[in-house]
Amino acid sequence: MRAWRAAVGAMFFALLAGCGSNDLVVKKQMEMEAKLEQLAQANASANTRLTTLTTEVKELQNRLTATAADMDAMKPGMAELKASIESIDAMVTDLNRPKTSKIEVVNREAAAAEGNPAHQDAYVKAFGLFSANNYNAAIDAFEAFMKAYPDSEYVGNAMYWVGECYYTQHNYNEALEAFSKVTTTFPNGNKVPDAMLKIGYTLMGMNEPAKAKESLQALVEKYPKSQAAAKAREKLVRLSK
């Protein structure tokens, strides 16, 4: 009897021990499943973040590509704007010269043409139209002046201002032709250095930097002491950078 009770007791404790062991296994399994779930969630979150980052990188690359394209598209306009600014600067400098301002030019011509009021009036009228930014009318007036008074010492000046009218309107082909005529048809005129300078500027506006440099260098060599040559040197330095 005592032996039977001892056997039953042993079985009972064995069962208890087995139950405790099963509970521990179940607990460990649950903990493992929880960790696996956490890892799965973390992995899903990482994948989502990676996808988001990949999308953001692609968008950034697209923006950079678009920005680069925009900059390339802007280059011709920027070159044209820069040439226009330099043209305005050249005109302002010319106007502010003590001995070569518009008023003094007109006055000198008036003194030289005292015996011919029509000669004076024609040039003054053309110059007034240019000063008023009425460039098309100024071109017609200067050309009429050159046709009516081909022997005037200011015919070369008139041709130069025709070139300025075209240049200001970004009509570079016509401007180049007019400035070139100043240097070839009136080689001894006082506007030749300025015309050579504007030929260089015009060629820059036409995206021909090599020819522009050649023209500016020729100006520096032929008229080294002129104000136009000083501007040409500054431009050549900038073009060399």
Q: Which 8-state DSSP code applies to residue 113?
A: T
Backbone dihedral region for residue 180 (phi beyond 0: left; psi -120 to 50: alpha; all else: beta)? alpha
Amino acid 112: pLDDT: 41
Are 227 and 191 contained in the same domain? yes
Are 129 and 189 contained in the same domain? yes
Are 168 and 179 contained in the same domain? yes
* Last-in-domain residue among 47, 75, 103: 75
Q: Are 82 and 235 in contact (CB under 8 A)?
A: no
User: How much is the pTM?
Assistant: 0.54
Are 116 and 156 contained in the same domain? yes
Q: Which 8-state DSSP code applies to residue 223?
A: S
Are 203 and 217 contained in the same domain? yes
Q: Which 8-state DSSP code applies to residue 226?
A: S
Are 182 and 103 contained in the same domain? yes
Compare 68 and 100 and report the one with higher pLDDT.
68
Specify the amino acid at residue 211.
K
Are 120 and 215 contained in the same domain? yes
- Quick: pLDDT tens for 176-201: 999 999 999 999 999 999 999 999 99
Q: Which 8-state DSSP code applies to residue 150?
A: T
Amino acid 240: pLDDT: 81
Mean pLDDT of the chain: 74
For residue 8, pLDDT over 70 is answered with no
- Quick: pLDDT tens for 58-90: 776 667 666 655 565 555 545 445 545 554 555
Range of the domain at 46: 1-75
Residue linked to tokens 């005109």:
91
Q: How many domains would you assign to the chain?
A: 2
Q: Mean of the pLDDT values across residues 129-143? A: 94
Are 179 and 65 contained in the same domain? no
Q: Mean of the pLDDT values across residues 7-36? A: 54
